[in-house]
Amino acid sequence: MISSSPRCDQTVAWAALSGHYQAHGADLDLRTLFAEDPRRVESLTFEAPEVVVDMSRVHWDVATRRHLLDLAHECRLAERRDALLRGELVNGSEGRAVLHTALRAPRGQAPFSDEVHAVLDQMLAFADEVKASAGGPNPGDIHDVVNIGIGGSDLGPQMVVMALEAFANPRLRCHFVSNIDGQDLAGVLRQVDPKHTLFVVASKTFTTQETMVNARTARQWFLDQGGTDIARHFVATTSNVEGAAAFGITRTFGFWDWVGGRFSLWSAIGLPIALALGSQHFRALLDGAHAMDQHFASAPSEANLPLWLGLMDVWYRNFKGYTSRCVAPYHHGLRRLPAYLQQLVMESNGKGVDRHGQPLTYATSEVVWGEPGVNGQHAFFQMLHQGTDVIPVEFILFKGLPLRDAGQLSPAVQAMLHRQHQMLLANGLAQAQALMWGKTTEQAAHEVAPTASKEVPPEIIARHRTFPGNRPSLTMVIDALTPRSLGALIALHEHRVLVSGALWGINSFDQWGVELGKAMSNDLLPRLDSGDVSGLDPATAAMIARLRGA
């Protein structure tokens, strides 16, 4: 176990930060900060492997950042980071180490290296074996991969495969089934041929309710369609080899109890990624993540990007009072990134007690949500610009846009798509600019005057067109969405979660909040069959009666 560290609210730095907020931090205006410091962008742009982040539109000043660094030091953040990387027991409530960083480290450079690389080599060899005959005409040649998992066994692999579609094998389609709602699985089964389909059952324990229900239904469908070779068409990513064998699966790829679900895409859980992209691109994904690990471990505090993102999250949540943040990737491939980050952040840091089980007196995880940029502009950006809540926005922009099979497009179409990408970037830049600068009532009135309606006074119209401005954002810039850059981007957010969770004094690596409802559902399932409502609360009993048609 690592040595104990003080909880954030028990430190001198926290009290100093509170005093700073009361004296100055509550009234920070971005427009004034820029006017006072012409070099603000330069001093608040941070570079890390594959990612550059402009944090100049964050609601903080020099004093804020100094107090936040003091807080990190007093909470012994560096010690907690180093303990995690060494493989010490940092997940106290489950008695486990947390070593997802070991999954992407080069051979010999992290704990459990021999075991990690043995499984990695086996998994990638299998992926290349499938690739060699993918799309072929013979029975057993794989055309479709169906990943059956939920939570971390679905969100991470699905997000990565969708994001890196430009690098995927065009002869292999990947599908993801997670919902216990049968429509999810049925919709996929209608698209695939059992002779050419590989099912990946992803469950560490091979007992996850939703996953195993879907897996058994998929197996029955396979048998009903004349399938006979379950061992060839079903594989498992699991630690329960015996359970998989009882199911009929003989090819399994395992992982360890120190691999948390929402940190597991780097492990055997990433098999659908390897199948879709091939071994070379999967290794590039790992390399990008490892580069970010090294940055987090060794960059000085003043330049450590994951550190500053985590410090910003604490400042925003506990002092500025911002309850959520919006993630706006200006890239269609990252349309599932907000959903992935929801689990990563809220399952990790949505805790109400500290590491010692003591109730917290301050807020923890913010709500994370979002959509691809331009789509969001036509949905919820109205609220971001003119709503009553201030919600920080995180823009993710890419200089280039790799296109799958670009060589098959005419030069004219390629030029048009390039222009569309420029429009995409212009939109992202403009939204950040508009959030900060806003529009005064006087400016709006000047615009309204020439077209004012007799029925509605121009001053009323102008108030509707007023933007308060001073709304915070940050902008991440990446050269192109590649396996390596995506690996770095994901690892950056993982470490950001560690920073904020460590300062809050919580265990970011358990998820007991997932369990209670699941356990209750096991009690309610037979009651839906029998109608027995004895001992239930009146609301649940009434709903069971209604659902049974009574």
Taking the C-alpha atoms of residue 321 and residue 21, their distance in angstroms, rounded to an integer, is 11
Inter-residue contact 465 to 444 (CB < 8 Å): yes
Q: Which of 24, 418, 446, 518 is catalytic?
A: 518
For 466-504, letters b (16+ CB in 10 Å) and e give bbebbbbbbbbbbeebbbbbbbbbbbbbbbbbbbbbbbb
- Nearest CA to 517 among 294, 210, 227, 263? 210
Inter-residue contact 152 to 261 (CB < 8 Å): yes
Q: What percent of the chain has pLDDT over 70?
A: 98
Residue 447 binned pLDDT confidence (cut-offs 50, 70, 90): confident
Query: 378 an active-site residue?
Result: yes
Inter-residue contact 509 to 423 (CB < 8 Å): no
Taking the C-alpha atoms of residue 399 and residue 421, their distance in angstroms, rounded to an integer, is 9
Average the pLDDT over 477-488 and give the result. Answer: 98
Query: 347 an active-site residue?
Result: yes
pLDDT above 60 (res 210): yes
Q: Which of 36, 378, 442, 454 is catalytic?
A: 378
Average the pLDDT over 125-150 and give the result. Answer: 95
Taking the C-alpha atoms of residue 332 and residue 339, their distance in angstroms, rounded to an integer, is 14
Query: Can you list the alpha helix ranges (DSSP code H) found in 250-298?
Result: 271-277, 279-298
Average the pLDDT over 183-209 and give the result. Answer: 96
Average the pLDDT over 347-367 and give the result. Answer: 97
Sort strands 51-54 and 473-478 into parallel, antiparallel or unpaired: antiparallel
Q: What is the pLDDT of residue 1?
A: 47
pLDDT above 80 (res 448): no
Residue 2 binned pLDDT confidence (cut-offs 50, 70, 90): low
Taking the C-alpha atoms of residue 382 and residue 387, their distance in angstroms, rounded to an integer, is 7
- Predicted TM-score (pTM) above 0.75: yes
Taking the C-alpha atoms of residue 395 and residue 398, their distance in angstroms, rounded to an integer, is 10
Query: 332 an active-site residue?
Result: no
pLDDT for 255-273, tens place per residue? 999 999 999 999 999 999 9
Residue 454 binned pLDDT confidence (cut-offs 50, 70, 90): low
pLDDT for 220-251, tens place per residue? 999 999 998 999 999 999 999 999 999 999 99
For the CA atoms of 156, 160, 162, 167, the dihedral, rounded to the nearest 10 degrees, stands at -160
Q: Where are the beta strands (DSSP E) in 14-56?
A: 45-48, 51-54
Q: What is the pLDDT of residue 12?
A: 98
Q: What is the pLDDT of residue 171?
A: 96
Q: What is the pLDDT of residue 459?
A: 86
Q: Which of 50, 347, 366, 371 is catalytic?
A: 347
Average the pLDDT over 136-150 and give the result. Answer: 95
Q: Where are the beta strands (DSSP E) in 121-240?
A: 144-148, 173-177, 197-202, 234-237
